[in-house]
Copies of this chain bind each other. A is one copy, B any other.
C-alpha cells in the first residue's frame, strides 16, 4: 500500500498579507493528513481507554521546510507516510506539491499518550496499532 495522498484547496484563512499561504497552514495540513492516515489505517485519533482516560497523539516535535510559495485557491497535494514507529511514538513525513512542483516537506513526531487533564503521559503503542500503521510506511 502506498503512502496516503490527499488534496486540499488553499482557503482564504490560510493566507497572509504577503499574498501567499502562511507558513503555519502546513502544520495544520500535516495534522489533518496524519488524522486521515490514522482513519485509513483504522486507528482512532482519540480513543476512550478501559480506565476512562482518552488516549491520543500529541506532538513531540514538528518541522517544515519551505521551497516554493502557494497562493489562495491553489490545490495542494499532500503525501503522508509513516517514517518510523518507536516504542511510544510515531514519526510521519509529508511532501507537499502544487501542479508537480515541490512546495514543502515536513516531519511530525506524535507520542501515544494518556490524556490526563493538562498532563499527557506517554505510553507504549499497542501492537494492534503498530500492525495497522505498518502498511503506510514510506520515506520522504
Chain A positions near chain B (C-beta within 8 angstroms): 11-13, 15-20, 22-24, 27-28, 31-32, 35, 45-46, 54, 56, 58-66, 69, 71-73, 115, 117-120
Given A23-B59, A61-B66, is A32 in contact with B45 using a C-beta cutoff of 8 Å? no
Which residue from B63, B66, B72, B119 sits with its C-beta under 8 Å from A58?
Answer: B66
Which residues of chain B are near A18, meaning CB under 8 Å? 54, 56, 58, 115, 120
A64 CA to B35 CA, complexed, in Å: 20
A46 CA to B66 CA, complexed, in Å: 20
A118 CA to B31 CA, complexed, in Å: 22
Which residue from B23, B59, B71 sits with its C-beta under 8 Å from A17?
Answer: B71
